Structure 1
Amino acid sequence: MKFPTPLTRGTLIKRYKRFLFDAELTDGSTITGSCPNTGSMLGLTDPGSAIWMSEHDSPTRKYRHALELVEADGTTVGINTGLPNKIVEEAIADGRVEPLAGYADMRREQKYGKNSRIDLLLTDEARPPAYVEVKNVHFIRTPGLAEFPDSPTERGAKHLDELGDMVDAGNRAVMVYLIQRSDCERLKICRDLDSNYGAAFDRAVARGVEAIALRCHITPQEIRFDRLVPVDEQGL
């Protein structure tokens, strides 16, 4: 996925109220922008961090700038939680995600479960439908190891249980963890920060839900799928 317009470089002053951040631009001026990530963003909000922002001219937007990338731990990290579905959809459409290749049709945001919507629904006459849920990942504490979640997520646990229901109904269900950074060699479930999600993950895998992790290559010009990395299912 290429950014539609060039990103603007700056320095993070602070991120606050979950939705906002202040930054200094390269010309020395300061701005307030929107942060398209309501999570904790652990390890990615240090004042002085180099950042990249998109700019928007729409008169309906309160803030011109939106935070897109943060440079941390010697790599560039994507923080926009509105992008993972697009990145995964593009990679599947190009046939680059081997476990999800070969389906004839792909649809977004389809109703399923208990008043929920699945991120992607893959269908083909030759096999059962595949219900694909996408989660954004950017948390790291140990070099080379991505972790999810970085804060408690009841909604995430609910999605895992509903994916299990889809398997029980004879379908295929796949949880895709999109790692928006390039310095991770595997992913594990962060049980110490959310034990309920860990338990839900164990239930889902035991019911037949598949879990795959996709690592990204990130530059100020684009974010794209790089390769699959193993998911550590320890805890089962």
Structure 2
Amino acid sequence: MKFSAPLVSGRLVKRYKRFLADVLLDDGGAITAHCANPGSMLGLKEPGSRVWLSQSDNPKRKLKYSWEVIEADGALVGINTAHPNKLVEEALEAGRIEGLTGYDSLRREVKYGKNSRIDILLERSEGARTYVEVKNVHLMRQPGLAEFPDSVTARGAKHLAELADMVAEGHRAAMVFLVQRPDCDRISLAGDIDPAYAAAFEAARAAGVEAYAIGCDVRLDGIDAVKAVTIAID
């Protein structure tokens, strides 16, 4: 995934109300950017951190800038949760997620379950289906270990139950964790942050839901999901 234009750099002043971030640009301007991330962003919102923003030329947008990348722990980390589905789609089409290859078609945002939409539906010509839910990951509390989630996610637990329902109906279902940082080679669950999600994940795995993880090469001109990440979950 390439950014459509060069990113604008600055320093984070504060992130607040979940979806807003005040940034002091390198040219001296002070702006408020959209933060497309509903999580806590633990460890990724320190005032003074170097950040990079995309800029929209849409005159109807209230906020001209969107926060894309932050420098944290010596690495570039992608924080925009609008990108993971696209990144995983590109990885699937390139055959980078072993175990999820050989499909004839890929569709996004398909209705299923209890008034939900699956992130990605993989289909084969003979009718076989695999339901793929994508989760963005960028929490790192131990070097090299990514963790999910970074805040309580009742919605995430609901998605796991719906994936298990698809398995019960005879389909394949998979959770793909997209790690938007290059400095992690393992991923685990942050059970201390959301024990209910950890329990739901265990139940889903027992029901036959598969789990995969892929890490990202994060650059200032784009982000690509290319790196194998080991799932370190018992």
Normalised by the length of structure 1, the TM-score is: 0.97
Q: How far apart in 2 are the matches of 1:154 and 1:66?
A: 26
Could you tell me which amino acid in structure 1 is paired with residue 142 of structure 2?
T
**1:128–1:170 Cα contact (<8 Å) kept:** no
Correspondence 1:138-217 to 2 at 5 A: 138-217=138-217
Q: How far apart in 1 are the matches of 2:91 and 2:185?
A: 19
Q: How far apart in 2 are the matches of 1:22 and 1:146?
A: 26
Could you tell me which amino acid in structure 1 is paired with residue 192 of structure 2?
D
Give ranges in structure 1 of 5+ residues lacking alignment. Answer: none
What's 1:59 paired with?
A: 59
**2:91–2:225 Cα contact (<8 Å) kept:** yes
CA RMSD of aligned residues (A): 1.0
**Residue 60 of structure 1, CA deviation:** 1.1
Correspondence 1:10-89 to 2 at 5 A: 10-89=10-89
Deviation string, structure 1 residues 91-126 (Cα, Å, up to 9, x no partner)? 111222222111001011111111110000000035
What's 1:122 paired with?
A: 122
What's 1:3 paired with?
A: 3
Q: How far apart in 1 are the matches of 2:48 and 2:215?
A: 26
Give ranges in structure 2 of 5+ residues lacking alignment. Answer: none
Q: Matched residues, percent identical? A: 56
Shift in alpha-carbon separation, 1:126–1:98, aligned structure 2, 3 A: farther
**1:68–1:79 Cα contact (<8 Å) kept:** yes
3-state SS, counterpart of residue 212 of structure 2: strand
Normalised by the length of structure 2, the TM-score is: 0.98
Could you tell me which amino acid in structure 1 is paired with residue 103 of structure 2?
Y
**1:212–1:228 Cα contact (<8 Å) kept:** no
Q: How far apart in 2 are the matches of 1:228 and 1:176?
A: 12
**Residue 127 of structure 1, CA deviation:** 6.6
**Residue 82 of structure 1, CA deviation:** 0.5
**2:91–2:226 Cα contact (<8 Å) kept:** no
The count of corresponding residues between Structure 1 and Structure 2 is 234
Deviation string, structure 1 residues 168-191 (Cα, Å, up to 9, x no partner)? 111000000000000001000110
**Residue 44 of structure 1, CA deviation:** 0.4
What's 1:226 paired with?
A: 226
Could you tell me which amino acid in structure 1 is paired with residue 19 of structure 2?
F
